Structure 1
Amino acid sequence: MSLYDSTLASIFAPSPTVLITTVLAIFLVPIFIHFILFRSRSAASLPTFLLVGPTASGKTSLMTSFEPATGQPPAETRTSQAPLSIECSVPASIASTSKYRSVNDPSLKAHKRFLLFDTPGHGKLRHIALASASSPEIRGVIFVLDSSLTDVREVAEYLYDVLLTLQNSTTSSTTTQPKKLLVACNKSDAFTALPPSKIQKLLEDEITKMRVSRSRGILDVEDDGEGNDEKEWLGEGGEGPFTFQSMEEVGVEIEFKGGSVENGEWRDRLSPWIGSCL
């Protein structure tokens, strides 16, 4: 028998050993690739949500409200001096990628995992938050503030820098995906707390003043001497009052929500927003 004939015979009439080996390879190789490669890579790149805000606004308390219930009282929090992250989850049914799935899809019974990354609120450490906000791994930014808003200027300055960072990252990005920011008005159960709509108006008025002042170079005492850079103008160019809605024109979507860690509200109120970003 010639080599050609013997090759055809082995192909169309393989021995049991060759047949079993081929079948096992067909089924096991894809499984190996899925569990060894796909799972390990996906676990190493969980979507991340950034927690930023002034000191004593309640960022760490808000983050711990997402930790699994242990039956123990929540740990006492203190002013953070270093970043901290925890792995959390929300029901897969509220994720934006699940809105087109059938209600009978078994994947809706699972949970979507993500990381909450808490950053220090001290003025000298805010560069950590600003550097992280421009990362492409960040799915959304949660700016936490005290609803009493005793120092509007300080909160507005920090929020201005965060928004400017997000704006610059969208203009330099090749994707059209908007950046999402949620302003979490914490401690809304306090007697001196203001409603989110009032807080939004006060911050808009303060940022309007800051935007004009910074453009003239008389407020930013840490100016690096480069002059009036167009990238330092928050929102679309031109005059007029600043509004958070106008930030959508530069690719930044902003939403305000009120709640309290003490009442255990934040997990229920933030989960739908987090799900919309996943």
Structure 2
Amino acid sequence: MEQWKNEAKQWLQQGIEYAHQIPPTQLYAAATVLLLTTLFLLIVRLFKRTKSNTIVLTGLTGSGKTVLFYQLQDGSSHQGTVTSMEPNDETFILHSESSKKGKIKPVHLVDVPGHSRLRPKLDEFLPQAAGIVFVVDALEFLPNLRGVSEYLYDILTKASVVKRKVPVLICCNKTDKVTAHTKDFIRKQLEKEIEKLRVSRSGISEADVANEFTLGIPGELFTFSHCSNKVTIAESSGLTGEISQVEQFIREHVKP
């Protein structure tokens, strides 16, 4: 034991003598490089650990969110499912990927109720969302245009969405029906309605504004391309299982 202590002292002394021989500028430079490298590795590890796998499904009641949820989970439509009064909150491997080999990252999927009284639950999940799927009933779109636009406007102006630039997929559901509106028509109508909301709400005093951020570019008509976060449009049919565009969006933001 005493011998080891003596050898350790000798090594330490040699190290100190060697360090004294190195010019201070080189020593400081080496220490700086070591410190920056350590910080970089720590940041990379932290980023990997905190990368979210949460996808939030939301939209008005009756838009078909819960049917989409079950299609993604087990490939069935669960016809006859009643309107959700509590969030469906599950972590699973997408049904379409269940037979694939290799490591596949599970998705934490949350189906938030669309009833206006239950929407505050959305704020519980948005801060951890890697992406938002906003489901629109393409069949009954026009009668619900105002309500859909107001709900989407509220989401796109939330700090938890804007600051983190959370991507949003506007999912036009029930497009298997002949009388369903196309995604291009829905996009244009939503942009027009949100422009109206933007103009009307910009005239309200700041004390009365509930939204945390404003949308659009002053002097220009609103388009989704003005949003700080990426907003895309897709089509789906929960009842027939045509949900490939939704799955593609999920896997784009929750890497396998």
* TM-score normalised by the chain length of structure 1: 0.66
- Contact kept in structure 2, 1:130 and 1:162, CA below 8 Å: no
- Contact kept in structure 1, 2:72 and 2:94, CA below 8 Å: no
Which residue number in structure 2 is paired with residue 190 of structure 1?
177
Amino acid at match of 1:120: P
Which residue number in structure 2 is paired with residue 39 of structure 1?
none
Which residue number in structure 2 is paired with residue 4 of structure 1?
3
1:83 and 2:83 aligned: no
Which residue number in structure 2 is paired with residue 109 of structure 1?
102
Which residue number in structure 2 is paired with residue 56 of structure 1?
62
Which residue number in structure 2 is paired with residue 270 of structure 1?
246
1:65 and 2:46 aligned: no
Deviation at 1:273, TM superposition (A): 1.3
1:158 and 2:138 aligned: no
Identity of aligned residues (%): 30
- The runs of at least 4 consecutive aligned structure 1 residues that moved more than 3 Å come to 5-8, 170-173, 227-232
Measure, in 1, the Cα distance between the counterparts of 2:53 and 2:108: 6
Deviation at 1:202, TM superposition (A): 0.2
Deviation at 1:108, TM superposition (A): 7.5
Range with bigger deviation, 255-264 or 268-277:
268-277
- Contact kept in structure 2, 1:90 and 1:112, CA below 8 Å: no
Q: Structure 1: 5+ residue runs without aligned partners?
A: 9-41, 94-106, 218-222
Pick from 186, 198, 219: which aligns with 1:199? Answer: 186
1:235 and 2:216 aligned: yes
- Map Cα deviations across residues 213-260 of structure 1 (whole Å, 9 max, x no partner): 11112xxxxx9x714589442234x1221100111xx2x101110110
Q: 1:210 to 1:45 in 2, by over 3 A?
A: closer
Deviation at 1:75, TM superposition (A): 5.2
Measure, in 2, the Cα distance between the counterparts of 1:46 and 1:113: 11
Aligned residues: 209
1:249-260 matches, cutoff 5 A: 250=228, 252-260=229-237
Quote the RMSD (CA, aligned, Å): 3.2
Which residue number in structure 2 is paired with residue 147 of structure 1?
138
Deviation at 1:275, TM superposition (A): 1.2
Amino acid at match of 1:142: V
Amino acid at match of 2:221: P
Q: 1:78 to 1:214 in 2, by over 3 A?
A: same
Q: Structure 2: 5+ residue runs without aligned partners?
A: 8-48
- Contact kept in structure 2, 1:90 and 1:275, CA below 8 Å: no
Which residue number in structure 1 is paired with residue 195 of structure 2?
208
Deviation at 1:7, TM superposition (A): 9.7
- Map Cα deviations across residues 18-55 of structure 1 (whole Å, 9 max, x no partner): xxxxxxxxxxxxxxxxxxxxxxxx7x996110011000
SS at match of 1:86: strand
Amino acid at match of 1:245: S
Deviation at 1:79, TM superposition (A): 1.1
Pick from 104, 122, 125: which aligns with 2:115? Answer: 122
SS at match of 1:66: helix
Q: 1:188 to 1:164 in 2, by over 3 A?
A: same
Which residue number in structure 1 is paired with residue 15 of structure 2?
none
- Map Cα deviations across residues 126-154 of structure 1 (whole Å, 9 max, x no partner): 11114422x1x210000001002032101
Which residue number in structure 1 is paired with residue 225 of structure 2?
245
- Contact kept in structure 1, 2:70 and 2:77, CA below 8 Å: no
Deviation at 1:193, TM superposition (A): 0.6
- Contact kept in structure 1, 2:93 and 2:105, CA below 8 Å: yes
